[in-house]
């Protein structure tokens, strides 16, 4: 899986839930930002969990829904997925 694939999926989820188009990889997508209220973060994270698995929840537990830039969140998800055993990556 590539970073661009993950960023595209995150953009799609944010648009579906919040109705805002993410235009730049440095846009803040979760957290205390005037365009992206933190209340929506729970829904975005829930959708990401459905796609990438419960393993990514550790990202948010450590950072407690802090502000996430699109590129940083995609990197964090990639890092968590890289830790998975090879058998799980194939599922």
Instruction: Express each pLDDT in 57-76 by its tens digit.
Output: 888 776 655 567 788 888 98
Asked if residue 38 lies in contact with residue 45, where contact means CB atoms within 8 angstroms, the answer is no
- Please give the Cα distance from 40 to 60 (Å, whole number): 14
Q: Rg (Cα) of the chain, in Å, rounded?
A: 12
Residues 22-58 have pLDDT tens digits of 887 777 776 545 455 556 777 888 898 999 888 888 8
Residue 5 has pLDDT above 90, yes or no: yes
Mean pLDDT of the chain: 77
- Please give the Cα distance from 34 to 28 (Å, whole number): 10
pTM for this model (two decimals): 0.76
29 by DSSP, 3-state: which?
A: strand
Task: Taking residues 69-84, report their average pLDDT.
Answer: 86
């Amino acid at each position: 899986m590539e970073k661009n694939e993950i960023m595209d999926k995150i953009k799609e989820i944010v648009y579906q839930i919040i109705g805002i188009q993410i235009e730049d990889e440095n846009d803040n997508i979760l957290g205390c930002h005037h365009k992206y209220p933190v209340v929506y973060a729970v829904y975005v994270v829930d959708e990401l969990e459905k796609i990438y698995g419960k393993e990514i929840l550790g990202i948010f537990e450590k950072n407690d829904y802090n502000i996430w830039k699109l590129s940083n969140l995609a990197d964090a998800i990639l890092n968590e997925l890289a830790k998975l055993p090879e058998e799980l990556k194939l599922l």
